[in-house]
Structure 1
Amino acid sequence: MMSPTCTNIRVRTARDAEIIFHAVRIGILPMVVQRLGSEERMALCSGCVYVWEERSGSLSESMEQGIERFTEGRSWGPSRARDDFLFYHEKDTAPKSLMVERTRAIRYQEDPVGASAMRPRRRGEHMIKQTYSVFVRPTDGMNFKKWHLNAYWTQEDLDQLLTVDDFTELRSLDVPPNTYLCARTNRMRETIGRSARGNTFPTPPRLYTNGPGLSLAPLELLEECRRLRRDPTDEVILRSFNVHRNFHRN
């Protein structure tokens, strides 16, 4: 059975997430390389953290690594953003979640010792999913990769969970700066879009020549300018032209 990336741990900040990402990258912690099977879904409990790579779709499914969509067999409410994280509260009355909990209860009754990780939740407990996504800066000239971190916990267990500071091999990690770039940043998404078109690293804005003596600004620069307000004096002059033109039409 495939294990989570780490267990009995909570992710407090983006720094904690980057430490876990880096531990995966250098081989200290495992990456989840396939969708969870039925046994792995049953074993998911408070404190489980999964790091997985998103399949980009640029190669055929048989050649490409990564997971297209991570599923754990539970039903979640809408996302709520806080800092760079997204949080989802489980719908404990949804059919999928109820089925998982019933199966966990049966397994635990059959083998309380062997299925200790499958202890059914106490009444009133609600599972919370916390996600964080980054683009991983390449070191081999290839394109950026998109990694995700999924952390699961209940409010009742949160204070009992460990942190990266409680693990010697994690708290001593030196994460290179600008290696894990938050995917929720608009500017970062634009950078990765350019990377996917063949430029591994971002390039400064430049003018594109279209014939002798004519230069065109890049589209992203024009879109940025479009959001800026005109000078008030220019607004008055433009309105005067519109009034003059409408007068002659009438």
Structure 2
Amino acid sequence: MTETFHGYIETTQDVLLVFEGCRRGLLPRVRRRLQEKERKTIQSGSVFVFDERESGIKRWTDGFIWSPSRILGNFLIYRELDKRSTDKKLSLSSISGADARQRSYSADQTNSSSAAAAAAAAADMTADRNRERRLVGSLSDSYKFRKDGLVKKTMAIVVNGVSQHLISYYNPEDILQSKLRTPSSVAELAGLEISPDLLVKHNFRIPPVVEPAFDEGDPMQASHYPHDYGGKLINTNINIFQKQNQKKK
């Protein structure tokens, strides 16, 4: 089984680019359920797209044990578990931000810590928490997360009455270390014009704003993607929603 894409799905725009790549035949869709040996090859960076009608897949199975889903923008986020357990709580995720926080706590407890250092440590802790939330969703849960486990990030939309699903996997450390590329950073995908069929508003909790292409030499024409994390610039596609709204007026 071939992955649809290998990398990190950061934003809704990344999802749309992958769906568009599949629609044009540039990227392969999954056309059947994964076999057991194929499930074992899932790794950080694996991304799969399937069409329910084409594949016959109603529910994706991958052999992992996951936490309940958490909503993060237009995505659902799941975290890999060691085992099913509801009697133990993990207050914070175990990615590298924990190390930074521990250093902050230690620094705060030393006699030589100044008010400025304490303020800086608090700011670092807040930044760590925000960064973690973008990667793993909720910072607390009633489940025991697997150390160095994967995160599953998914989105589904309906196109012409048929559900299209994107399933992605990543290790947060790989994102922090910039080991995985995003579809928006791949030239062959970043320049694709998104089909209006993929931009139907009811598919999104937060409707994506896809801006018209602009001249990169004119900063006055540049605009940002306001609803997704990271403030990514979108400069390749037509703002379907704005045109539809103008027609209604």
Give the TM interval when normalised to the shorter protein: 0.5 to 0.7
2:198 matched residue in structure 1:
179
Q: Give the drift of 1:44.
A: 0.4
Query: In 1, distance between residues paired with 2:13 and 2:59?
Result: 24
Query: In 1, distance between residues paired with 2:72 and 2:204?
Result: 13
Higher relative contact order (CA 8 A, sep 6+): 2
Q: Give the drift of 1:3.
A: 1.0
Q: Cα gap change, 1:46/1:183 in structure 2, threshold over 3 Å: closer, same or farther?
A: farther
Q: Give the drift of 1:93.
A: 3.3
Q: Cα gap change, 1:23/1:43 in structure 2, threshold over 3 Å: closer, same or farther?
A: same
Any gaps of 5 or more consecutive residues in structure 2?
A: 85-145, 208-249
Any gaps of 5 or more consecutive residues in structure 1?
A: 56-63, 95-122, 138-143, 189-250
Task: Indicate conservation of the 8 Å contact 2:13/2:184, yes or no.
Answer: no
> Helix, strand or coil for the counterpart of 2:61?
coil
1:45 matched residue in structure 2:
43
2:2 matched residue in structure 1:
3
Q: Aligned letter for 1:154?
A: N
Q: Aligned letter for 1:152?
A: Y
1:26 matched residue in structure 2:
24
2:215 matched residue in structure 1:
none
2:62 matched residue in structure 1:
72
Q: Give the number of the structure whose alpha-carbon radius of gyration is greater.
A: 1
Task: Indicate conservation of the 8 Å contact 2:158/2:203, yes or no.
Answer: no
Pairing 1:1-250 to 2, within 5 Å after superposition = 2-7=1-6, 9-55=7-53, 65-93=55-83, 124-137=147-160, 144-158=161-175, 159-181=178-200
Q: 1:60-83, CA deviations, whole angstroms, 9 ceiling, x for partnerless residues?
A: xxxx74312110011111100011
Q: Give the drift of 1:165.
A: 2.9
> Helix, strand or coil for the counterpart of 1:146?
strand
Q: Give the drift of 1:182.
A: 6.3
Q: Aligned letter for 1:80?
A: R
Q: Give the drift of 1:183.
A: 6.2
How many residues align? The count is 144
Q: Cα gap change, 1:66/1:149 in structure 2, threshold over 3 Å: closer, same or farther?
A: same
Give the TM-score of the pair, scaled to structure 2.
0.53
Percent same amino acid at aligned positions?
35
Query: In 2, distance between residues paired with 1:28 and 1:45?
Result: 22
> Helix, strand or coil for the counterpart of 2:38?
helix
